[in-house]
């Protein structure tokens, strides 16, 4: 068991942060102006369209590094991303949806928090208004994707609602916060099972709001637990407690955390689903591990000292395993940080994913004293 605050633990995480600084210096030059999503066996990140849901994670990594090091090169590389993304709030696109939180929290909002930039503030509020506009008052949920799935909500949105909490905080308008709380309550009621396992897609009647059923989505089945979905829920409910101080959300985060921790394999990095009929030939998901670790650190900060060790130690076990078994340190040509991530059982299998890299960096930064939370 590790000891956060001990000289040994502090030195370890400081050394990892130094390794990340060296890695990020290379990545900054290698990725350049690309908008990365995944990297395959060659270790080269792709270059996707900027309206894709993952477009905020790379600039978010740049902002974290600028905040941690003071290096203006990171700030310069990150500066124009929120302006680039703003165009999709007014241009036709089928890709912009509930994930605007991921896109604008780690670009416009963090830019405003660190620099006070008024355009970042304005763009963050524009995105919050867009997200609030997806709220279905009959069912009390935020609609997920576009197309004809008007009654669908997904566990991922539990982190996106942080954009609404921020908007209430900076404007004084509680309307944003009310939407976020109603969505969290709905997800808590229908998306989290009694044992702390989670569902991915929830289906409601968009007209009268009644709950219909759940779908497996990116998980194995409707009755299984997609590990990254559980990580979204763990972090999202912990963060909802931070913004509301409502103990219901804290207890829900704890339930998910206990399920997640107890279901981990020996090396503390989950398979892509926790309820697979067989593990033979199945892929791990290092991105789920990184998201959960960052969420566990948040959860640890809210509870009494006796409980703190449970969540903090679990986070450190996960991060140590990622650092020592899943990270790429000795291949300078490799553009990603973490290997062995999985998008779902049918797509992006055993690859590197930019959001896995983001949450790994975020968690390590937290262990080194990073204060500018964006979620």
Phi, psi of 373 (to 5 degrees): -60, 140
Residue 285 designated active-site: no
Which of 51, 67, 82, 156 is an active site residue? 156
Which of 99, 273, 285, 357 is an active site residue? 99
Given a contact cutoff of 8 angstroms between Cβ atoms, the answer to whether 364 and 296 are in contact is no
Q: Cβ contacts of residue 342 below 8 Å, gap of 6+?
A: 272, 283, 284, 285, 287, 348, 349, 350, 351
Find residue 109's DSSP bridge partners: none
Query: Would the annotation count 228 as a binding residue?
Result: yes
Given a contact cutoff of 8 angstroms between Cβ atoms, the answer to whether 149 and 117 are in contact is no
Find residue 90's DSSP bridge partners: none
Find residue 273's DSSP bridge partners: 226
Given a contact cutoff of 8 angstroms between Cβ atoms, the answer to whether 359 and 52 are in contact is no
Query: Would the annotation count 145 as a binding residue?
Result: no
Query: Would the annotation count 156 as a binding residue?
Result: yes
Query: Would the annotation count 267 as a binding residue?
Result: no
Question: How do strand 38-39 and strand 352-353 relate by DSSP bridges?
Answer: antiparallel
Instruction: Enter the DSSP assignment of 322.
Output: I
Instruction: Enter the DSSP assignment of 282.
Output: P
How many whole angstroms separate alpha carbon 364 and alpha carbon 63? Answer: 14
How many whole angstroms separate alpha carbon 188 and alpha carbon 158? Answer: 10
Task: State the Cα angle at 166 between 162 and 168, rounded to 5°.
Answer: 120
Query: Would the annotation count 166 as a binding residue?
Result: no
Residue 99 designated active-site: yes
Instruction: Note the helical H segments in 205-246.
Output: 227-244
Nearest to 78 by CA among 52, 49, 115, 51: 115
What is the per-residue burial (b if ≥16 Cβ within 10 Å, else e) of 349-362? ebbbbbbbbbbbbb
- Chain centroid, CA 186 distance in Å: 20
The 8 Å CB, 24+ separation contacts for 40-45 are: 40/351, 40/352, 43/328, 43/331, 43/333, 43/334, 43/335, 43/336, 43/352, 44/335, 45/335, 45/336, 45/352, 45/354
Q: Binding site for substrate: what residues are annotated?
A: 99, 156, 228, 232, 344
Q: Binding site: what residues are annotated?
A: 99, 156, 228, 232, 344
Active site residues: 99, 156
């Amino acid at each position: 068991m590790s000891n956060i605050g001990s000289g040994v633990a502090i030195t370890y995480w400081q050394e990892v942060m130094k390794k990340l600084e060296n890695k990020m210096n290379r990545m900054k030059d290698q990725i350049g102006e690309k908008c990365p999503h995944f990297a395959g066996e060659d270790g080269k990140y792709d270059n996707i369209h900027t309206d894709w849901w993952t477009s905020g994670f790379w600039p978010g990594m740049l902002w974290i590094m600028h905040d941690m090091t003071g290096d203006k090169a990171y700030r310069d590389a990150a500066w124009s991303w929120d302006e680039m993304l703003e165009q999709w709030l007014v241009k036709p696109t089928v890709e912009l949806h509930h994930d605007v939180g991921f896109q604008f929290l780690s670009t416009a909002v963090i830019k405003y928090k660190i620099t006070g930039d008024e355009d970042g503030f304005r763009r963050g509020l524009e995105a919050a208004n867009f997200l609030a506009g997806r709220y279905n008052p009959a069912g009390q949920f935020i609609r997920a994707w576009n197309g004809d799935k008007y009654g669908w909500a997904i566990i991922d949105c539990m982190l996106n609602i942080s954009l609404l909490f921020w908007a209430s905080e900076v404007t004084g308008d509680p309307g944003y916060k009310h939407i976020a709380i109603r969505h969290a309550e709905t997800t808590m009621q229908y998306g989290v099972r009694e044992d702390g396992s989670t569902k991915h897609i929830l289906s409601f009647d968009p007209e009268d709001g009644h709950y219909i059923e759940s779908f497996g989505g990116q998980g194995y089945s409707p009755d299984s637990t997609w590990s990254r979905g559980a990580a979204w829920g763990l972090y999202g409910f912990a963060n909802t407690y931070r913004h509301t101080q409502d103990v219901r959300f804290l207890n829900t985060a704890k339930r998910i955390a206990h399920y997640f921790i107890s279901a981990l394999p020996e090396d503390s990095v989950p398979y892509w689903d926790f309820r697979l009929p067989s593990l033979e030939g199945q892929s791990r998901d290092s991105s789920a591990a990184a998201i959960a670790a960052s969420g566990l650190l948040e959860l640890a900060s809210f509870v009494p000292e006796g409980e703190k060790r449970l969540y903090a130690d679990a986070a450190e076990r996960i991060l140590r395993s990622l650092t020592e078994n899943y990270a790429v340190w000795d291949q300078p040509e490799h553009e990603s940080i973490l290997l062995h991530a999985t998008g779902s059982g049918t797509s992006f299998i055993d690859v590197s994913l930019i959001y896995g890299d983001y949450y790994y960096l975020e968690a390590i930064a937290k262990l080194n004293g990073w204060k500018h939370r964006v979620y």
